Amino acid sequence: MKIQTLLVIALFCHDSGAAIMEKGFKSLPAPTSQAAIVEQLRCEYRTDPRGIDALKPRLGWIIRSDRRAERQTAYQILAASTPEQLAVNKGDLWDSGKVRSDEQNQIEYTGQALESQMRSYWKVRIWDKDGNLSDWSKPGFWSMGLLHQEDWQAKWIGLNDTPKPWASPRYLRKSFTVDHSIRRATVYATALGLYELRLNGQRVGDQMLAPEWTNYFKHVQVQTYDVTELMRSGQNILGAILGNGWYCGGWQHWKKELKSMYGAEPYLQSQLEIEFTDGTRQRVVTDASWRGTVDGPLRFSGIYEGETYDATKEMPGWDNPGFDDAAWTPAKVADADLKVGRLVAQRNEPIRKTRELKPVAVSEVKPGVFVFEFDQNMVGWCRFSFRGKTRQTVELQYGEMRNADGTVFLGNLLVVSRHQIQLDRYTFRTDQVETYEPRFTYHGFQYVEVRGLTEKPDLNSLTGVVVNSDCPEVGTFTCSEPLVNRLAKNILWSQRGNYRGVPTDCPQRNERCGYTGDANFFMRTAVFNMDVAAFFNKWLVDVCEDAQMPDGHFADHAPTFGPGDGPNVGWSDGGIICPYEIYRTYGDTHVIREHYAAMKRNMKYLALNSKDDLFTGKIGNGDWLSTGGGADKEVLGTAFAAFDFQLMAEMAEAIGETGDAAEFRERAGKIGAAFASAYIGADGSIKKSSQSGFALAFTMGLVPGPMREAMTARFLEEMRKFQWHPRTGFIGTPRLLPALHLAGLDDAAYEALMTKTSPSWLYPVTVGATTIWERWSAWNGKNARGGMNSLNHYSFGAVGEYLYGMIGGIQPDAPGYKKIQIAPVIRDGLGWANTRYDSIRGRIISDWKREGSTLTMDVTIPANTTATVFVPAKDPAAVTESGQPAAKADGVKFLRMEAHAAVYKIGSGKYHFVANLPPTL
């Protein structure tokens, strides 16, 4: 069976990226051309990362040039132990020499062995297509963390305080003296729970909710901070606040008992390394010499429940020298049998405050009850500046909807008995205006109900703080239909709202898990919105290494917390599909190698749970939340098995496992043949399946050639039957419009996209939605619906792939966008569309506009790439590029006519095509 995915993509060509190093030369010529500029240096996908633990970190860069068809023919990397060495072009850690290669990403450092706490300053220059040498890039940087267990002198510390039932927040401090001139100070920290470090009265770093959620029994992430500027001569105070977080908080809607998942109380581990200018060092570690208290102002913190803060119990100066901590107690060093996984560096971008929003209205809905309204559903918390009275307590209740009386609706929070959720409490210390914001919780909300004030608060007294994983936002899509533009914004807002260390399902009710299904269903949209390479490099450890069950299947959510998590078809397959999408988008073969053994175990599970090449194992949710247009569970199980084997064949080939690749490919063919025999009828129907069945068949390469016409006709019938409404669930929805595209039914895809009545993508927009809903009918614009009904749930937002990848037409034609395809789908309903995507190789733009029968297409392709461009045209001879016949334009090569489009191959640069549209468009 021919391997297909949502779009056919070419396998990575190893020859084109073969590196040949020129050795033996002492010096290289000075730059002779300014045509190419090297910028945006990245190490392990991040800019200047601190405390990494990759022994051969992967490096990459962007090339910018105004010349068409610019490409890199060679590169040189220098890595030095100091900025001074690098400035004089001395690579004492690594001088790659001139490497003849066009690769600019996934380049492994192969210099001097990297050790704990080492620092590396690096830069790169390239040779362009004419052999001219660029200037050196601006310097990049990375530092190593504590790589070995013996490097850690710090202990896990907490306090002797019995949880009731949840542990109270802890305040910890350590006094130490510095009497030398400081060169550099670096602190390595983590916690079982959440922590905020303080040094001499200042917050350390801007990372929130650290460390981010992992299976603490398997591994715990460490954060690294440069605190040189916070240090003082003489006495210093290193302090910390500890909260419950995911480790020991009360959470999970299916856990009715009040029992934490991992541990009963939080612990801190921190190691401050101070380097002095005379070459000596000092180390400050967590141990029994620290002192602490639970009698601070932060009285309670829960990820789900919220925070309680009593300002009357504030301890001014507790994190500064001079504070009297005689009443505090010695820290408790954790018992040797504390169950904790290995310490690892944080791979992904930190959770940060990424933006702030102001409310648009405040109203008194009941005496003394004020509701603030924002014009955007968001995730984070609020900072307030309210005037109160001493010992007066104000409550902030967060929610996504309002009741008929204007109060905040709580019915969709699935509140467990004895739990209060999304509620912050603050007790005033004075009669003056006081300002506060939480630190160890987050809420999903558009409305905030404030109770306990004696006077109406000013509109500007409250600020919404948006908190999410700070993944770079790399894509934009706009078009002539305002509702679709709002849809695109809603998709991005739901991604922001659910990416905090793990890709969660929802941000408000007491669930908020890293569901493997939701993540992989949405992933082709996610990569267009954000650079998620580092994010998924972290989370795929949670999935593939920490959440694989003994029989080989992957759990349906990660981090996981015990047996019984799945299997669940579509969800468990995330352990195969997500690594593949990282490979496809970023050219990342390391992620394949890292998880290859786990993925092979999963394939064995699929094989053992099949009979006659049909999947017979547990299915699970099926096409979750479909409304009549789903698919038979047997069909789903076998379709995903076939698809997994297809993807594994490609990934095995990419890392040189050719024997496995052949075996996987053969098995995929057999499953495909069995699928056709068992489930596809002579009339083109699919057994007990509607839209979702066809969506899977067309996008998973399961449509036999002789049956294509009949299956296309039946697919169209299923769309007509529901008057173009998507009636698919979580599994079918992401593939519905791409499947219609592959079936040649883009007219139907446009009809479905543009439908404004429920169920549809645009219906929520018409009633004011600002995020993606969990259910097609989550709200009618008037009456709130309770139960499992999130208004911020990105799964159905997977339609974003069609916006970027089909309407915009941007797709990788080789892993990592080394080759690009621009093939916009232009139909009635849109007059123009502008799509931008900052790929790992640089910016790609597809900007088309139709005026009558005239089409203009502006295309931008980044340096060191090529593209195949499909220009819809009545007559290829009439197509122009920058005012001249396209076939004769610089850097443009006419290839063929295909499906009413003139197809061209182009190099990097900016292009302006004009064509007469064919009558069919």
CA dihedral of residues 249, 253, 254, 256 (deg, nearest 10): 70
Q: Residue 231 CA to chain centroid, in angstroms?
A: 34
Q: What string of DSSP letters covers 329-397?
A: EEPEEPPTT----EEEE--SPPEEEEEEE--SEEEEEETTEEEEEEEEEEEEEEEEEEE--TT-EEEEE
Cα–Cα distance measured from residue 394 to residue 372, given in angstroms and rounded to the nearest whole number:
14
Question: Tokens in use for 294?
Answer: 């639970």
Cα–Cα distance measured from residue 624 to residue 631, given in angstroms and rounded to the nearest whole number:
10
CB 620 within 8 A of CB 568: yes
**749 contact partners, CB below 8 Å, separation of at least 6:** 736, 737, 740, 741, 802, 806, 825
Question: Tokens in use for 140?
Answer: 């990049």
Among candidate residues 242, 297, 318, 294, the one with its CA nearest the CA of residue 428:
297
Cα–Cα distance measured from residue 778 to residue 785, given in angstroms and rounded to the nearest whole number:
7
CB 34 within 8 A of CB 135: yes
**3-state DSSP call for residue 515?**
strand
Among candidate residues 307, 310, 461, the one with its CA nearest the CA of residue 386:
461
Q: How are the residues of the chain apportioned to helix, strand and coil, as percentages rounded to the nearest 5? A: 25, 30, 45
Among candidate residues 913, 920, 921, 816, the one with its CA nearest the CA of residue 870:
913
**164 contact partners, CB below 8 Å, separation of at least 6:** none
Cα–Cα distance measured from residue 179 to residue 194, given in angstroms and rounded to the nearest whole number:
32
3-state secondary structure 679-723: HECCCCCECCCCHHHHHHHHHCCCCCHHHHHHHHHHHHHHHHHCC
CB 366 within 8 A of CB 358: no
Tracing tokens 């979580």 back to the chain, one arrives at: 730
**Residues forming beta bridges with residue 306, ordered by sequence position:** 302
CB 735 within 8 A of CB 701: no
Number of helical (H) and strand (E) elements in the chain, helices listed first? 15, 46
Catalytic residues: 511, 774
- The dihedral region occupied by 30, where left means phi > 0, alpha psi between -120 and 50, and beta the remainder, is beta
Q: How many CB atoms are closer than 10 A to CB 669?
A: 19
Cα–Cα distance measured from residue 406 to residue 251, given in angstroms and rounded to the nearest whole number:
28
* Beta strands, E only, 702-816: 810-812
Cα–Cα distance measured from residue 449 to residue 442, given in angstroms and rounded to the nearest whole number:
16
List alpha helices for 115-264, DSSP H.
245-248
CB 175 within 8 A of CB 256: no
CB 331 within 8 A of CB 267: no
Cα–Cα distance measured from residue 792 to residue 726, given in angstroms and rounded to the nearest whole number:
19
